[in-house]
Structure 1
Amino acid sequence: MTKYGLRARVITLTIAPTLIIGILLSAYFIKNRYQELEQQLSVAGQAIIEPLAIASEIGLSNESRENVRRLIGHTHRQHSQYIRSIAVFSDQNDLFVTSNYHRNLDLMAIPDGDSLPDRLEISRLQDTLLLRAPIRAIGGFNNNLTQDQTIGYITMEMDLSTVKLKQYQEIISAAVVLILGVILSGFFAYRLLLDVETPITQMINMIDRIRRGHLDVRIEGKLLGELDTLKNGINAMAISLSEYHLEMQQSIDQATSDLRETLEQLEIQNVELDIAKKNAQEAARVKSEFLANMSHELRTPLNGVIGFTRQMLKTQLSSSQQDYLQTIEKSANNLLTIINDILDFSKLEAGKLLLENIPFDFEDSLEEVMRLLAPMAHEKGLELDLRIDPRIPAGVIGDPLRIQQVLTNLIGNATKFTERGHIRISVELKQQRDEQLELQFVIRDSGIGISERQQAQLFQAFRQADASISRRYGGTGLGLVITQNLVNQMGGDIGFSSRLHQGSTFWFTLSLLKTDLPLVQPVDSEALAGQSLLLVESDIESRQLMSERLSQFGLSIRSVDTLPEQSEPVSCVLICVDASDVPSPDTLIAQATHAESFSDKVIFCLPTTELALSEHLLSSGVNSCLAKPLSVRKLVELLQGEQQAPDVLPPAVETHTNKLPMTVMAVDDNPANLKLITALLKERVTHVVTAHDGKHAVDRARSQRFDLILMDIQMPEMDGVTACKEIRKSPLNHQTPVIAVTAHAMTGERERLLDEGMDDYLTKPIEEHILEQVLHHWTHPHTGDIQPSSPLIKTNNVGSSLSIDWSLAMKQASGKEALAKEMLQMLVRSFDEVEEKVNNALDGDNIELWPIIHKLHGSCAYSGVPKLKGLCYELETQFKQGDDNDDVEPELCELLDEMNNIREQSPHYL
């Protein structure tokens, strides 16, 4: 709706122009008239004063005041309506004569110091007009005066009140004319409203009635011009609406009848859909329950197989026994991989797979995948080659586990479908923007290839390229689906190209972040300066690849396809053996003997399947044997002289000598699992108590205090959750930490168990390093919620933090204990230099501490020392703000104390 109606608009648009134009014209003409009257008065005054000036010359020259007074008096009386006063002044600016008394003669006189006027001057003062004219001497009347000499001046004051009076008269006349114009415009506006508003109001009322359903109303009478056309249109519209309404009513009646029939059918379908929905929900529940049960039932026996295999590998074994046990472990891990694939697929379908974002060593992570898949490739006589773009930094941030999973799936598929030839993996840096790295991974094989029909269904779940009953290659058909989803979830793309019988190329891209923090001990390339290496590799691509990687460390590389008959002396000879054509031991020994004629060090790079051959060569005097694909770090360590000659029978693995003085109860209904958990715990704690079910565990908890309880979840009669709640009721173990040990690995299982009252969570099969993390965590708790049940389990005061947080160190090292220990050792070794400079600064030396504190801060990032890291951050911030060494003296003393604490505590973890 508009703010103003038609009436207001018509009146405004009719009267407003008249009013505005009238005001503008009146103002214009009044102003012009006033200026014109004032100009006329000025002209009249000029016509009066100039003759007076000429006539007053004789009287002023002869000093005849009476003659001049009569002259100006007569003039004043003739024009008294305009003239207020006339005065004559001598050349000395003295009053000579005036027409009447003036109270302010100074106003008519020229100010002192000003010269006499030489021409007519007109000035306006408020409501008066002041005219001054010079009186000049005319030659002949007075012989003492020169011609045209100014002998005085005459001043005349004229009244402007008459002009203003006429101006007021003009204003009143204009106002009267304006009012008459407005009245006339109002009359015309009123007539216009009568001719327009009344018909329009009638039309509005009729339209409103039509809107309310009165379709039989019509507008009657004859209207003016377009209004009559509008009336006819509205009447025609009313007729059409009446006809449409009738048709619509008939259609509604028909549609209502059809709708009744449709609603009856929909009601039947809704009942059927509701039944189908309940069936689908039940199927989903059964599926989830099946996955959980399958996970538990499969992981439970696998826990025993993998666990006891690893326990056996700790004992003294022959090479064959080690090989057999490693094969058993590998087969069990393959079965575990299939289980994890199914669970990962379930998580991906539900959108609940979470990605990590942690720093890791890029090359080490990729080489770990190559080491894992090398045996499968070498068994088929295939060569694995890895090329990493040298521009890619060593440290990156991302999810190393999922990247390894993607590579394992793709390389594993390439190995599975390749019978001869090679598998080459390359990683290229496509683009770098600041800290963002865009990498492309390419996996090429020389396998059987994929037909166009098979390519269409390659990334579909539970579908394989060859799904026939006679197919040669096994698998679940989930690997590529999981790979595609993982790559997409990490923000990358994946694709492939393939031709039948000519091999396949799979590629995917990822975006990772660069980090400059140290992740592993860097290779000291300075120690290799001046050394030369003769590389013997039959495959030209592998030879070029290895030459590129080794030349980055300052080595002088000479590569050949076969061992030459003669050669210049070199520091080392590296002989690579083809996996598809392994020579006899005697041939290799002969090559080693020949190579020793021009080199002191001979190293063989053998396929991983040739363990016995490696032992034979080592026993024959060969310096060292490395596994393919070649680990550059291991080769550099050998060239630096850090290798150790292995025994034919490896010594038994040392068990833990420093056991934790604590009592732990292990609860499991599976005898094999209970035996394995007991064996793992006895290596790490002094006392282990077992319970074969939940009731037995509750009975033991009521009679004995424990420092920690490992509780299986799925047990007959009393499950682990119920047993945990019962144990909490006992006064002896009311606050004892209870760790859930379960084969269930479904999403949300951990959160559910923690909500049920468990303190932590372990999955089967149990990884030893994870078990150690749990034991360390609950012997060094991070909060004060758990009351100690032995002197070992200490609570921290509020606001304090651990000097060494081993669980944090393990997490920062991606679960690699050796790497975590190495990082802690490097940190402790750097303390001597820091302490020396800090002590010198405290003694008053002018030392800039910011660089060394910054370096120490970077070292703390991956060593599990949160308190020291916080102190370094605080000191670094204060130095950046301009504080000097004296300002941060308390923090520096605290830094020295904390480094001392870490040095004292570090032997317990190394």
Structure 2
Amino acid sequence: MPTSINTRFGIRQRLLLLTLFPLLFISLVLGAYFTMTRLQDAENILVERGQLLARLVASSSEFALMTGNNELLKSISKGPFQEKDVADVLFLNGEYQLIQRSAQFPISLKVAAPSAYIHDQYWYFTQPVSTTGIPFLDNPEFQETESISDTVGWVIVIMSESRKEKQEQQILLASISLLLLAFVSSAVLALRFGKRISQPILGLTQVMERIQTGSLDTRVTNTYTGEFNLLAQGLNGLADTIQKLVTNQENRINLATRKLQATLHHLEQQNTALAKASKRADEANKAKDEFLARMSHELRTPLTSVVGFAKLMKQSPCSPEQLEHIRIINQTSLMLLSIIDDILDFSKLQQDAITLELIDFNLEEIIYDVLEMQAPKAHEKGLELITHMQPRQDLDVIGDPTRLRQIISNLIANAVKFTQSGTVEVHVDISPINNQQSLYTLKVIDTGIGIPQEHLEQLFQAFMQADTSITRRFGGSGLGLVISKKLTELMGGRLEMISEEGEGTTVSLYLPFKPSENRPLIKVEPPTYNNEQNIVICEGNVSQRRSLIEILFRQTERVINVRSIDECLQHLAPHNTFMVGLPAKATSEEERIFHASLSLLSSQGNLVVAMLPSDCQLPIEHPTNLIPISKPARPDALFKALNLPYYLLQTGQENNENLLPISVVLAEDNEFNRLLISKILEKSGINVFPAATGVEAIEQTQAQQPDLVIMDVHMPVMDGLEATSHIKQKYPDLPVIALTANIIAHEHHALISAGISKVLLKPVNDDELISTIRYLTVGNTTNSISQSPHSKQEKVTNIEDYDVSTSQIEEELGRLCQQIHDSFTARNTQIIGEVNHQLIGLAGLYELPEIECCASEIHNILHTAPVNWKELWYAIWQLKRVLKSVNKTDG
């Protein structure tokens, strides 16, 4: 690395340079200017003198040239030739022929040359000798207007540059002398002023160096003026302070040394304590790394409990004021849950801790999942949710549906949040990129408040929003678009936004996907399908009507669209099917007309499909030919209601032949959970061998030689992690699925390290469980099982599909609660912990956040030493009350 100028030069040198450079520059410029001027003057003087001599000689030689008197010419030239710088004087006749010259040396005469020119260091000055005619008449009136002149010869004066060169040398010598004098004067002045400035600094520096070397009694003794005097006083004060501090420190060191010598025999104990402290620091560091992940469990559980309790309170007798308070509690709790999720996802993205899946899914299903989730809020504000998409077969792709659902959910949620009236539309287009991939363009268009152009860019910065008042008005963390953009870039796509204030916003999502051709679909042909029927669409919103027509054109072209009920009634005829839509947030008059028209249409025996906002329902008793369907209507649900062919995705229940004869060891400590999962598996044709502990799981695996093991992570006697390690040692290729309610990434990585093939979260998603078993046993090349932690699934198992009633769950919860109560009476914390763990698993499996929160509180009290029995009793009492409230509500 080159040495900087600050280290090469001291203050004196820098002052010298600072002074000399400007002075030298100015001196050089002025000296050069005046030198050039004087040199030019010397040349001008030479030219003027030569021209003057030539004119004088020419005026004197007129008569001699006319008479041809060479002697007279010689006499005329003798005077000028005596000048030192005159080299020769030449006389030429009218034909430019040499007549007389004063010297003998080679010359160069040029015909038609200028009056002054230079050749071989000689200047040639040419002057014509002219004679004027004599007038014959004295009267000026008879004279010609122009004088008659005639050139009788030429005079050329040749001058040497020797005198000029000598003069130029004198000029240059004088200029250089002046420059040297200016440089020396400047240097003397700079040195003088530099010395006056640098000497005090050097003196202070020397004092500082002596203090640094340990001479703490050194002080500044010289007297300075101005700021240097203040600096000297400050340095002396600093030296006094340092000397006092060092003296005190030395005294303390001496005292500490004496104490240390007295306590050397305790050094080994101190080293042991230091090792323990280091271990605690490492654990604290590890806890810090897991804090954000654990925050999800620690904050989401009580917040979910708040939401659950708010739901219970809402179902109990409440005054309007209390209902409003409950609504605010529910709204703010859900908002806080969303913010926590955003912060956790943002943290994972910042640490590159998110791994994308590559599995088959349908883009249309994800969009409708999100729209259904946002429908209540949108319809409450009177917004219409509209889609314009390709046929579902064209939207089968390979990618990460969970993260894509998160992106689309953020975009649509923002559109609904910032739109007060109008529509939120989702458009999907496809354009091929190459033979393997296509570009899927998803646009979310709203008619909301819009965003000023100057605020568009900052929306993609963390914790930033377009307006500081947005957080107060609409809430949110300001991370939704940031997370969406980062996830989009992680998928290889891009996210763009166009907005106009007061007009609305368009967010465009561009993602490259590989189309999937392996989605197992079943085409269902309804028995009442009549391809001759006309479908009459009555929908007031033009864009919604166009969307419905696009969907229906996938199966039939016999579509008639009308704008009002009156037009709809004009098409009353046999074999006609009617689709009638109710606007979101309709007026009471509109609702009255809507229900009256439904009654009239259905009374004629026609099939009538009522498209209702999410907050509206038909009367409990309505004709069977009147079918309600929620907005926005899923295409396949709409086709099914209209008795048109529709598609179903094959699940494990349709592919039992592919799963047979699969056998699975199910390790789950809770009997009730074990029963439900067993029914899920048996309904799909899978042989199940249950185990209640990790030890039993190992024994069952050795005895049955299964195709797969489903392992609960937390079990008594031996947990799932240890049991998996034992099984993998003997059967390294045997796939193992772990079931856990914990979303902490550290635990998931530990499970993967132990040999777990796939981690599934509770509550169990039966479709996901069956498809995972199919992948790990039968094999499916289009799926890839991610080994990264998953977010909690939105879709969970419907227990009623497996003949498990709510009363059975209540009985099991009551039994576990009674066991905890009895164990508390017996002061047996071990049994309380085991039963409480089963209670946590059961509450998580069946989505009972209120009970899960109480059980988590008991878990925390049991793991605090010593156990606070009073707090434990209060937590158990609260659990019993919550359980009683849940049972009463369900009943």
TM-score, with structure 1 as normaliser: 0.43
